[in-house]
Structure 1
Amino acid sequence: MNVGFIGTGSMGGMLVEAFIRSGALPPECIAVANRTPAKAERLALRYPGVRAVRSNAEAAAGRDLVFLCVKPLDFKPVIDEIRASVQPEQLIVSITSPVLLAHLEEWLPCRVAKVIPSITNMALSGVTLCIYGSRIEPEQMAMLEGLLSHISQPIRIDEKYTRVVSDLSSCGPAFMAFVLQRFVDAAVEETGIGREEAERLAAGMLLGTGRLLTAEGLSAEELIRRVCVPGGITAAALKQLDSELDGVFNRLIRTTHAKFREDLAKVDQSFAVKH
């Protein structure tokens, strides 16, 4: 399988590295291009065999699979550049949520899909969200999900739920890390415990909690019940937490959805130019 990556920033570079480290792709099968060529060249130096090419069209031409890992408003110029190089049997995969499958299918003559990765894929863990266009064949779905299964659990979703599932799987690690950081900050401030020790304890707790909720099959409700003794310390703290967090995550989801709609409107405008 020959795979191209257009964009080697935070998520694009992470995907290249994860696929190589997991053994899903040998470096020799990968071509990378970036708006700043030096970034693609640094990635190629880090993983001998990866080819840094000078144009997006070269990264797309002749590949079985091409990942578009660029910002929403950069999509239209990239598509304009690669469109003449793309063949009907190729699969183009966007990792950018405000770019809709309808945008891709209107402007590209090939099969298209959308994938929402997560930073947890760096640890060969977490999920990857998969959304497919109307022209894709079952064997291409299987090929893409087989590739993604080396670094995550691929899950098919309906495009109308893109934002909320992205909140949970892709933005969620940052949300949980923010809460954990505040927890550590408070522990240090209130008790004087060393920050390094508090961070190590909190990170170990989060890792173990994740395993209980996945490998051990506990639900969040069951986990809380098993830790929380009626009338105990955890119960008192949870009562306080419940009061302080009332409505916080509803407002968080409203915020992410509002920003998504704003980005989507800008993307729609960028694609409004006639063929």
Structure 2
Amino acid sequence: MNVGFIGTGSMGGMLVEAFIRSGALPPEAITVANRTYAKAERLAARHPGLTAVRSNAEAAAGRDIVFLCVKPLDFKPVIDEIRASVQPEQLIVSITSPVLLAHLEEWLPCRVAKVIPSITNLALGGVTLVIYGSRVEPGQMAMLEGLLSHISQPVRIEEKHTRVASDLSSCGPAFMAFVLERFVDAAVEETGIRREEAERLAVGMLLGTGRLLAGEGLTAGEVIRRVSVPGGITAAALKLLDAELDGVFNRLIRTTHAKFREDLAKVEQAFAVKHGPA
């Protein structure tokens, strides 16, 4: 398998690093292109055998899978650049949620899919969301999910649920890290405990809680019930949290969906032009 990456920024670079670290892909199987060529060169220097090229078309030509790891408004120019280089049997994979499969299938002559990775993939864990276009064959689905399974648990979803699924799997680590950071801040401010000690305790707690939920099969509700003794300290704190957080996550989801709709409208406008030459 040979794989191309167009865009080596935060998520594109993370995917390359994770695939190599996990052994899913040797550097020799990877070709990368980036708008700033020096970034692609630095990635190649860190992983001898990896090829950095100057054009997106070169990164796409002849690859089994091509990951498009660019921002929503950069998508249309990239597609215009690679259209003539891709062949019908190739699989082009977007990691950008506001770019719809309909956009890709209209403008590209090949098979298309969308995946939403997570920063947790860098630790070879978490979930990667997977959505397929109508032209993707079962063998290509198996190839893509087999690749992703080295760094995550691939989960197929419906495209209409992309945003909320991304909130949980991809944005979720930032939300949970934000809460953890505020928890540590409060512990330091209120008690004077050393920050390094508070962070070590909080991170260990989060890791252990994840293992209870994933490895031991406990639900979140079961963890709450087993930790919280009626009339005890945890129960008093949970009562406070329940009151203070009432509706917060509903508003959070409404906020992410509003931003998604804003980005989608901009993408729709960018794609609302006639086809240029293939």
Partner of 1:246: 246
Partner of 1:17: 17
Q: CA deviation at 1:69?
A: 0.2
Partner of 1:196: 196
Q: Aligned with 2:144: secondary structure? A: helix
List alignment gaps of at least 5 residues for structure 1. none
Partner of 2:8: 8
Q: Aligned with 1:62: secondary structure? A: coil
1:47-58 alignment runs, 5 A limit: 47-58=47-58
Question: 1:87-131 deviations in whole A, cap 9, x for unaligned?
Answer: 000000000000000000000000000000000000000000000
TM-score norm. by structure 1 comes to 1.00
Question: What letter matches 2:157 in structure 1?
Answer: I
Distance in 2 of aligned mates of 1:199 and 1:44:
35
Distance in 2 of aligned mates of 1:99 and 1:85:
20
Question: 1:159-183 deviations in whole A, cap 9, x for unaligned?
Answer: 0000000000000000000000000
Partner of 1:45: 45
Partner of 2:77: 77
Question: What letter matches 1:181 in structure 2?
Answer: E
TM-score norm. by structure 2 comes to 0.99
Q: CA deviation at 1:241?
A: 0.5
Q: Aligned with 1:4: secondary structure? A: strand
Question: What letter matches 1:157 in structure 2?
Answer: I
Distance in 2 of aligned mates of 1:217 and 1:55:
47
Partner of 1:235: 235
1:134-173 alignment runs, 5 A limit: 134-173=134-173
Partner of 1:28: 28
RMSD (CA atoms): 0.3
Aligned residues: 275
Question: 1:182-225 deviations in whole A, cap 9, x for unaligned?
Answer: 00000000000001110111011001111111011100000100
Partner of 2:62: 62
Partner of 2:273: 273
Distance in 2 of aligned mates of 1:215 and 1:151:
17
Partner of 1:128: 128
Distance in 2 of aligned mates of 1:261 and 1:54:
33
Distance in 1 of aligned mates of 2:38 and 2:191:
47
Q: CA deviation at 1:66?
A: 0.1
Q: Aligned with 1:32: secondary structure? A: strand
Q: Aligned with 2:188: secondary structure? A: helix
Partner of 2:222: 222
- Give structure 1 regions of 4+ aligned residues with deviation exceeding 3 angstroms: none
